[in-house]
Amino acid sequence: MEEQKYKVFHSLTIDGKFYPKFITDLQYDDGVPYAVFEWLDTPEGEIPSMRIELDPKYLHKGNFGTNHTHLYERPLLWPKSTPPKIINQHENPFLNK
């Protein structure tokens, strides 16, 4: 059986620049929600290679349209230890235009 696919709408700050409209994959790992920005293909399947843990009290499931299944009401902060590969809306496949 295929795993349920979720998408989360959120904002993101990268190096002080605010991006108000992002949609990323949403993954639950042992009940903990994560916004997944990048996946790595392995022989066992895809695994997240860049993800940020979400606080469940700010994550809401609902009928938000066709692009996302969840809304996260707090902005995410890109980790300083991971240089962003995607920094503008034209290069960002996750951005909700």
Q: Where are the domains of the chain?
A: 6-77
pLDDT per position as a tens digit, 34-75: 999 989 998 988 888 889 999 999 999 987 777 888 999 999
pLDDT of residue 3: 61
Q: Are 35 and 76 in contact (CB under 8 A)?
A: yes
Report the predicted TM-score, pTM, of the whole model to 2 decimal places: 0.76
More confident residue, 92 or 7: 7
| 61-to-13, 33, 49, 88 alpha-carbon distances in Å | 22, 12, 24, 27
